[in-house]
Chain A
Amino acid sequence: PGLPWPIPAPVTSLLSLAVTSEQIEHLHRRFKQLSQDQLTIRKENFDSIPDLEFNPIRGKIVHAFFDKRNLRQASDGLADEINFEDFLTIMSYFRPIEMNMDEEQLDRFRKEKLKFLFHMYDSDHDGKITLQEYRNVVEELLSGNPHLEKESARSIADGAMMEAASICVGQMGPDQVYEGITFEDFLKVGDVSAHTKMHVRFLNVDTIAHCY
């Protein structure tokens, strides 16, 4: 209704998930800007966003857009390019929590958001966050300080990892090895209220007349 191009079926299912058509139009305009009027975006297109350069976890964010697990595709690994539908899929992870959701929907919603976060930490796609990946995250986060030594970043990551281990597994014997943080552990250890903060404001706008 009122959109200039034919809407593929998966997008209509998104429409049913209360992303209004005005928001879709806004995102479409943005998509066209980024892709320079092409139908797909590649990683290089994200270089054109000036403010993103100063973001320490820029690499991970861009990567998340191309991560097939986030794009709800059956296969694994990274896509080379994404179309508008995929772009919308990623953006839909940042929808705010609706008032009229029931318990089951809320829980599913929360898990989806946290899974998105989890995929960002788990860069080798093996289903758990290993120490090396965690260190990677901390190093990137602290990369803004040129004078901070790598040693410090490493020890911080180690400390956090040990914290997580103790919370998830408790006291471990001397021969036990803690493989990594699985998604279940992440639900316990990660920022528990992350799903409430994880939304972008403009996706909250109510449009009164969206269909003509």
Chain B
Amino acid sequence: LDYQHVQVPFEITLWIMLASLAKIGFHLYNKLPSVVPESCLLIFVGLIMGGIIYGLNDRSPPVMDSDIFFLYLLPPIVLDAGYFMPSRPFFENIGTILLYAVVGTIWNVFGIGFSLYGICQVKAFRLQDVSLLHNLLFGSLIAAVDPVAVLAVFEEIHVNEKLHILVFGESLLNDAVTVVLYKLFRSFCEMPTIKSVDVFAGVGKFFVVGLGGVLVGLSFGFTAAFTTRFTKDIRVIEPLFVFLYSYLSYLTAEMFHLSGIVAIISCAMGMKRYVEANISLKSHTTVKYFMKMWSSVSDTLIFIFLGVSTIGENHEWNWPYICFTVIFCLIWRALGVLVLTFFVNRFHVNTITSKDQFIIAYGGLRGAICFSLVFLLPDFHRKKLFIAATTVVILFTVFVQGMTIRPLVDLLAVKRKRESAPTVGEQIHIRFLDHLLAGIEDISGHWGQYYWKDKLEYFNSKYLQKILLREYDQPKSSIVLLYEKLERKHAIELAQAGQLGHGPAHPSFLCSAFLCSSDRTVITDQKLEETLNPEVLDNMKEILARNLYRIRRTGPAYNRHTLPGDSEPTEQAKEILILRHKSL
């Protein structure tokens, strides 16, 4: 039995297997995921595992190594988040998001730090030796909202897009602030005296970390886009480039002590548009599925490890400190959101209602990032206190807040996500309004949001697209892309329903099928892959286009007469069905 030889990979695989089996287990009981969010269940499983290991070995189970977390488990989740981030709502609300992320986090850090220091002064709690600096250091790691936990919970409650993007964007971008403050206070702890120069250096560092992260991310993103321009003949490794470049951007940023999360997000957002135009459809599906798979596995592992690491002798249970930590986290977050939203609402037409504010404050979940940061603290005699407090806060936010947020959202009747499919008409109107507002801004001589967006689009089409896109002669606007996607879907629906045999392009059928695609069950991407034989597809497209054209020809084009009974379309339909049967 050569266990030593295979130990490391074997154990890793076993953990991942456990995580995945746990996930299957939850979904077997249909009612469970709707009441208890998955993250809670996973922590619970972790607790059980930790208990078992502790019982068997009679010593603390393996604590999640911070390096493993930051280098291997966190990047896939953040990459997934960044790649699939809806860019329009993100950039429309970027001001608010940055305000919450930067000012809100700083507010929380200092608020929690100072109030905990105040608690430490009370003699009865025997906490006098915890200095102000230690408290601020603790504040800096506990204040930050965690993207993993937020994603896990918000994904299940489907609030409206704006609310989702606010909380989620904040949780991603506050990493820059957290990194700077944490490192700053940690280095202050080790320095004998602190001069005001150091404080200013800290402030400057924040800008370097944030902007540096964005620059690193964008440069890797554009390099990735440029690389995919030349991958036409080796389609098989195209998805790999997406992952390699994103991971490199994360590691490079971490190497330079910049914010890795911000880097990987900028990389993903920067390269997405160009990479998707360059890579094949199959590669695109592969990228999507691998990203989702990796982030899912990471997510599960993180929560299980959180549970496992809770058991053991790493904690010093000083209950007053812990309770006050939880209380202060809640209070300062609520206050922060209230004050900041007050300022935001004065400058924006679309105000953030008090219901929304409540959800934003309540959705400030802490998670594994705090946990890893607390283990990275230098060993001083009160470290175990901080570990205990962090654990309790995380468990509280994930269990209590995570479980109650869904009933609260229902109770408060918060605006939910619109479930209807996008229509071509809406896209047209949105674009029209964009151009109109840009035009009005030009005429009135005001450089506003639409002016800059227009300028960016112009820069993009003139320079970036030429360098980064392989087929520059096919720039596609979002209207066209959406239309093609709907067309394709419809063509497949037609083929699958076998309707082409019964005299195609009965215009009312065509229209109703085309338009009511939101009513039907959405064809999954898997089915798309199966039926996407290129010849069949081209034929279908041709027929569709020709039929729409034919509708146009009869009278005032969209007059819904039945088509003159040609035999030609029926013939073509039969041809398509034959081709399709052959390809199966």
Q: Which residues of A contact B (CB under 8 A)?
A: 26-27, 30, 33-34, 46, 49, 51-52, 54-58, 61, 91, 94, 96-97, 117, 120, 131, 137-138, 141-142, 144-145, 147-148, 151-152, 154-156, 158-167, 171-178, 189-191, 194, 196-202, 204
Q: A166-B512, A199-B349 are in contact. Are A158 and B439 (CB under 8 A)?
A: no
Residues of chain B within 8 A (CB-CB) of A189 are: 425
Contact with A along B417-452 (1 / 0, CB 8 A): 000000111101111110111111111111011010
Q: Judge whether B444 and A91 touch: CB under 8 Å.
A: yes
Q: A158-B551, A200-B440, A200-B446 are in contact. Are A141 and B431 (CB under 8 A)?
A: yes
Question: How many Å from the CB of A132 to the closest CB on chain B?
Answer: 9
Asked if B382 is at the interface (CB within 8 A of a chain A CB), the reply is no
Q: A155-B548, A204-B347 are in contact. Are A177 and B439 (CB under 8 A)?
A: no
Number of interface residues of B (CB under 8 A): 59
Residues of chain B within 8 A (CB-CB) of A51 are: 442, 451, 454
In whole angstroms, what is the CA distance A167 to B518 when docked?
13
In whole angstroms, what is the CA distance A44 to B256 when docked?
55
20 A-B contact pairs sorted by A residue (CB < 8 Å):
A30-B445, A49-B442, A54-B458, A58-B439, A117-B432, A120-B436, A137-B428, A142-B479, A142-B480, A144-B461, A156-B480, A156-B483, A158-B548, A158-B558, A160-B428, A173-B560, A178-B559, A191-B426, A194-B429, A202-B444
For B439, B473, B514, B552, the residue with the greatest tally of chain A CB atoms inside 10 Å of its CB is B439
Interface on chain A toward B: helix, strand, loop, or mixed SS? Answer: helix
In whole angstroms, what is the CA distance A198 to B435 when docked?
11
Q: Judge whether B428 and A55 touch: CB under 8 Å.
A: no
State which residues 515-573 of B face A: CB under 8 Å. 515-516, 545, 548-549, 551-552, 555-562
Asked if B508 is at the interface (CB within 8 A of a chain A CB), the reply is yes
In whole angstroms, what is the CA distance A144 to B558 when docked?
26
Q: A147-B473, A194-B429, A200-B444 are in contact. Are A55 and B435 (CB under 8 A)?
A: yes
Q: Judge whether A52 and B433 touch: CB under 8 Å.
A: no
Residues of chain B within 8 A (CB-CB) of A155 are: 483, 545, 548-549
Given A61-B436, A163-B423, A200-B448, 9 more A-B residue pairs with CB atoms under 8 Å apart are A30-B443, A137-B432, A152-B483, A160-B425, A160-B428, A163-B424, A163-B514, A189-B425, A191-B433
Contact with A along B60-96 (1 / 0, CB 8 A): 0000000000000000000000000000000000000
Q: Judge whether A190 and B429 touch: CB under 8 Å.
A: yes
Residues of chain B within 8 A (CB-CB) of A190 are: 425, 429
Q: Judge whether B439 and A141 touch: CB under 8 Å.
A: no
Q: Judge whether A160 and B423 touch: CB under 8 Å.
A: yes
Residues of chain B within 8 A (CB-CB) of A61 are: 435-436, 439-440, 443
In whole angstroms, what is the CA distance A101 to B486 when docked?
41
Q: Which residue of B lies closest to A193 (CB)?
A: B350
Q: Which residues of B contact A (CB under 8 A)?
A: 347, 349-350, 423-426, 428-433, 435-446, 448-449, 451, 454, 458, 461, 473-477, 479-480, 483, 486, 508, 511-512, 514-516, 545, 548-549, 551-552, 555-562
Q: Judge whether A196 and B350 touch: CB under 8 Å.
A: yes
Residues of chain A within 8 A (CB-CB) of B437 are: 94, 197-198, 200
Q: Judge whether A166 and B428 touch: CB under 8 Å.
A: no
Q: Judge whether A177 and B445 touch: CB under 8 Å.
A: no
Question: How many Å from the CB of A67 to the closest CB on chain B?
Answer: 14
Q: Which residue of B lies closest to A170 (CB)?
A: B512
Q: Judge whether B436 and A159 touch: CB under 8 Å.
A: no
Q: A162-B514, A166-B515 are in contact. Are A141 and B448 (CB under 8 A)?
A: no
Q: Judge whether A138 and B440 touch: CB under 8 Å.
A: no
Residues of chain B within 8 A (CB-CB) of A151 are: 545, 549
Q: Which residue of A lies closest to B438 (CB)?
A: A55
Q: Judge whether A141 and B479 touch: CB under 8 Å.
A: yes
Q: Which residue of A lies closest to B448 (CB)?
A: A201
For B423, B428, B508, the residue with the greatest tally of chain A CB atoms inside 10 Å of its CB is B428
Q: Which residue of A lies closest to B450 (CB)?
A: A200
Q: Which residue of A lies closest to B559 (CB)?
A: A177
Q: Which residue of A lies closest to B455 (CB)?
A: A51
Q: Judge whether A156 and B424 touch: CB under 8 Å.
A: yes
In whole angstroms, what is the CA distance A97 to B348 when docked?
10
Q: Judge whether B425 and A174 touch: CB under 8 Å.
A: no
In whole angstroms, what is the CA distance A177 to B582 when docked?
41
Question: How many Å from the CB of A80 to the closest CB on chain B?
Answer: 18
Residues of chain A within 8 A (CB-CB) of B512 are: 166, 171
In whole angstroms, what is the CA distance A72 to B558 when docked?
33
Q: A163-B424, A171-B508, A191-B429 are in contact. Are A154 and B444 (CB under 8 A)?
A: no
Q: Judge whether A138 and B435 touch: CB under 8 Å.
A: no
Q: Judge whether A131 and B549 touch: CB under 8 Å.
A: no
Q: Judge whether A201 and B511 touch: CB under 8 Å.
A: no
Q: Judge whether B442 and A55 touch: CB under 8 Å.
A: yes
Question: How many Å from the CB of A123 to the closest CB on chain B?
Answer: 13
Q: Judge whether A141 and B432 touch: CB under 8 Å.
A: yes
Q: Judge whether A46 and B443 touch: CB under 8 Å.
A: yes
In whole angstroms, what is the CA distance A61 to B441 when docked?
11
Q: Judge whether A142 and B440 touch: CB under 8 Å.
A: no
Question: How many Å from the CB of B405 to the closest CB on chain A?
Answer: 26
Residues of chain B within 8 A (CB-CB) of A204 are: 347, 349
Q: A131-B557, A148-B480 are in contact. Are A174 and B562 (CB under 8 A)?
A: yes
Question: How many Å from the CB of B473 to the closest CB on chain A?
Answer: 5
Instruction: Choose one: B426, B443, B556; the contact of A131 (CB below 8 Å).
Output: B556
Q: Which residue of B lies closest to A135 (CB)?
A: B557
Q: Judge whether B433 and A194 touch: CB under 8 Å.
A: yes
Q: Judge whether B511 and A162 touch: CB under 8 Å.
A: yes
In whole angstroms, what is the CA distance A143 to B399 when docked?
54
Instruction: Choose one: A30, A144, A159, A200; the contact of B483 (CB below 8 Å).
Output: A159
Question: How many Å from the CB of A196 to the closest CB on chain B?
Answer: 6
Residues of chain A within 8 A (CB-CB) of B423 are: 160, 163
In whole angstroms, what is the CA distance A156 to B487 when docked?
10
